[in-house]
Structure 1
Amino acid sequence: MRIGIACGGTGGHIFPGLAVAQLLTNRKHDVVLWLAGRDVESVSTSGWIGSVVSIGGKGLPVGFSLRSFTAIWSLFCAVAKSWLRMRKQPPDAIVAMGGYGSVGPVIAAYILGIPVILHEANVIPGRAIEFLSKFAKIVAISFDISMQYIKHPKVVFTGFPLRQDINKNVSEGLIATKYFTVLIMGGSQGAHALNEIAVSAICRLHLHGIPVQVIHLSGVKDETIVRKAYENTGVPCVVLGFLKDMARAYSQADLVIARSGAATCAELIARRIPAVLVPLPTAMRNHQLANARAVQKSKGVVVMEEKDLDPERLSEFIKGCYRNPEILDKMKEALKNIPENNATERLADIVEEVVQDKTV
């Protein structure tokens, strides 16, 4: 089978698409990644040895402005490029992970009569999935609660496809394991507000004699200033703008402080790591808050909204976890109660079934 995976955009689209692509490749299928041409894509897919098609495209802004015309034109061009490529080398199916990077390949596939499978990562569907669902054979979801938000005759719960290496055993971590280790991350693009609050909280703990060290994935823009803040205070740290091998960071984390994108939530559950989730307040349709609340039901994470968060509150919580290890032990046990869903295998199975026209 020849399968196209449209997963351009952010890490939240790329990594689950890449996970499915790797598995389908292992099953001897010919897989092509369809990307949007962003810088983060080249870093995230550096280990991919299969074919890649870059079609461009831009996301539509909220509301109507001059930027809307540019975005609409770019999406039209993405559809045209996708159609021309698929007409020459038609895939047997297109799997789209959402975001504007899915628009061109999905519409082109529909025009050419190529079956489409969508995957929605978040609790609340994005605009792309909502719009493109009318062209899809199946819409797969990461959270079962998403059923109530998607109007489609065939919605299937699969879970979130994870990278194969996310649970691997790590022989060498990122930092010497001396102290209580906090992993801070804002997603593939970083998170400036979260960086500021977390840096202040960690430095505050250090100055009050709490033996804490930090692995901080700051995003490229904040990498230098975050590193300097820790070094000036004397906090043992590793600061990186971006990290592809997340298993190395997760293996050393006693506690995670992070945004609540779907990929982060799924990885924390898989690794059973207690976390403070700080949803991005500007996320479209407030989907990160919905993700965080869904995971919070397990009692394995704590949700702190950014509007209510300051360095003092965050530092007090971290200090409480350090002084009372049983807090984190209970959170870990709670996360273990969330069943594994084998999402990558499920989604790959669905793709094969759609192409073979067995159950759809």
Structure 2
Amino acid sequence: MFAITGGGTGGHLAIAKALAEEITLQGHKAIYIGSNIGQDKIWFEHSPLFEQRYFLDSTGVVNKKGIDKIFAINKQIKAAWVCRKIFKKHQVKCVISVGGFSAGGASMGAILCQIPLFIHEQNAVKGKLNEILTPFAKAIFGSFQNSSKNFIHTSYPVRQEFFSHSRVRTEIKHLLFLGGSQGAKAINDFAIQIAQEILNRGIKITHQCGTRDYERTKHAYEMLGILDKIDLFAFDNHLVARLASADICIARAGASSLWEMSANGVIGVFIPYPYAAKDHQYYNALAFTQEGLGILMRESQIDTQKVYEFLEFLQQDGNLAQKSQLLIDKITPNGAKEIIQHITSLVPCFSH
């Protein structure tokens, strides 16, 4: 029996889901251990992927101070003791942490019970919990470079549909702005600022602006007289088709978004979320842009001219097709399969 733990945000939970699907495909079973706050319950409370689902009373520690930090640590310790009983009940043979504060209790419980602990680090910079747990982990999986001795490089677990709709872009006909489900005001403001010029260049615009910023963004396009020329929407759970129709994307730099774009062959203009832990979105994007696969701008340093110049560069001498192909070559399907196969080869009860 596998135990998958971690979550809090969609990026972590998407990895948990991909791994659970692969575990099922390989004929094994899994339980899930998360938190009763965050998005864990929304994703997995009724998921048939798991034999059982546990949502413990835990919370983040890193951003807490004083007495709140002590209470948070105490909750994590209590969760670890609860997990010991869970592991015994289900005869858990290994624990996979996908990161986030939800993973704290089960990860510590695995160490206490001497159950092999495996970590998936989705970002270019290790999260605080993963940093603490690294010396105790049997292996750490990731798709960005990592200097840990027990690191194993694998492809990022991206849903097959992003590969299925993959294509090499040869010209820029369609630009997609992605602000996330909650919206990213800086990206929305930037879209409003350059929309007219983009349309003048004969490029179609699709813009996901988030639910909180929809009315303001809509009004801004109305004032510019171009609302009827913009495919504006608040949020869409099925972004594959929209990404597949785009030729370039202006977005944040969460790991899942970066690798989904890579699988699809879409080059990006990245504006990382400035308050991400350890500035990890910046370093995620940097790993791509240092290879010439997109451009990176701080939210406080958005430069319209830099974007126009990048568009012009891509439209010259087959540059767009070259970059798009390099992105596709950067990732292979079945990242989750690679990870589970590594684990089953490293844990004796699975390898025999």
Return the TM-score normalized by structure 1: 0.82
Preserved CA contact (<8 Å) 1:298 1:335:
no
Residue aligning to 1:175: none
Residue aligning to 1:55: 56
Q: Shift of the alpha carbon at 1:24?
A: 0.9
Residue aligning to 2:340: 348
Aligned to 2:76, the other structure's residue is in SS state helix
1:199 partnered with 2:192: yes
Residue aligning to 2:117: 116
For the residues of structure 2 that align with 1:239 and 1:46, how far apart are their CA atoms? 28
For this pair of structures, how many residues does the alignment match?
341
- 1:19-98 to 2 correspondence within 5 Å? 19-38=18-37, 40-42=39-41, 44=43, 48-51=47-50, 52-62=53-63, 64-98=65-99
For the residues of structure 2 that align with 1:237 and 1:26, how far apart are their CA atoms? 38
Residue aligning to 1:218: 209
For 1:136-194, what per-residue CA distance to the aligned partner results, in whole angstroms no more than 9, with x for missing partners?
A: 11111221x212xx3xx422111321123332349xxxxxxxx9322222456543333
- 1:1-360 to 2 correspondence within 5 Å? 2-38=1-37, 40-42=39-41, 44=43, 48-51=47-50, 52-62=53-63, 64-143=65-144, 145-147=145-147, 150=148, 153-169=149-165, 180-187=173-180, 190-202=183-195, 205-206=198-199, 209-232=200-223, 233-234=226-227, 235-241=229-235, 243-310=236-303, 312-313=304-305, 316-317=308-309, 320=312, 326-338=318-330, 340=332, 342-356=334-348
For the residues of structure 1 that align with 2:206 and 2:43, how far apart are their CA atoms? 19
For the residues of structure 2 that align with 1:201 and 1:165, how far apart are their CA atoms? 31
Q: Shift of the alpha carbon at 1:283?
A: 2.1
For the residues of structure 2 that align with 1:255 and 1:16, how far apart are their CA atoms? 25
For 1:224-265, what per-residue CA distance to the aligned partner results, in whole angstroms no more than 9, with x for missing partners?
A: 433443455414214133x43332221111111111121122
For the residues of structure 2 that align with 1:211 and 1:327, how far apart are their CA atoms? 19
Q: Shift of the alpha carbon at 1:13?
A: 0.7
For the residues of structure 1 that align with 2:158 and 2:310, how far apart are their CA atoms? 28
Q: Shift of the alpha carbon at 1:315?
A: 6.1
Q: Shift of the alpha carbon at 1:100?
A: 1.0
- For structure 2, the 5+ residue unaligned runs are 167-171
Preserved CA contact (<8 Å) 2:96 2:119:
yes
For the residues of structure 2 that align with 1:249 and 1:257, how far apart are their CA atoms? 13
Q: One-letter code of the match for 1:348?
A: I
For the residues of structure 1 that align with 2:332 and 2:234, how far apart are their CA atoms? 30
For 1:56-101, what per-residue CA distance to the aligned partner results, in whole angstroms no more than 9, with x for missing partners?
A: 4222244734542343244234324433322322322111111211
Aligned to 2:77, the other structure's residue is in SS state helix
- Between 43-52 and 161-170, the greater mean CA deviation after superposition: 43-52
Q: Shift of the alpha carbon at 1:285?
A: 2.0
- For structure 1, the 5+ residue unaligned runs are 171-178
Distance change >3 Å, CA 64–CA 300, structure 1 → 2 = same
For the residues of structure 2 that align with 1:70 and 1:331, how far apart are their CA atoms? 49
Q: Shift of the alpha carbon at 1:277?
A: 1.2
Q: Shift of the alpha carbon at 1:321?
A: 7.1
Preserved CA contact (<8 Å) 1:106 1:116:
yes
Preserved CA contact (<8 Å) 1:202 1:315:
no
Aligned to 2:347, the other structure's residue is in SS state helix
For the residues of structure 1 that align with 2:202 and 2:55, how far apart are their CA atoms? 47
Identity of aligned residues (%): 23
Distance change >3 Å, CA 11–CA 104, structure 1 → 2 = same
Q: One-letter code of the match for 1:99?
A: G
Return the TM-score normalized by structure 2: 0.84
Preserved CA contact (<8 Å) 1:9 1:100:
yes
Residue aligning to 1:173: none
For the residues of structure 2 that align with 1:109 and 1:253, how far apart are their CA atoms? 44
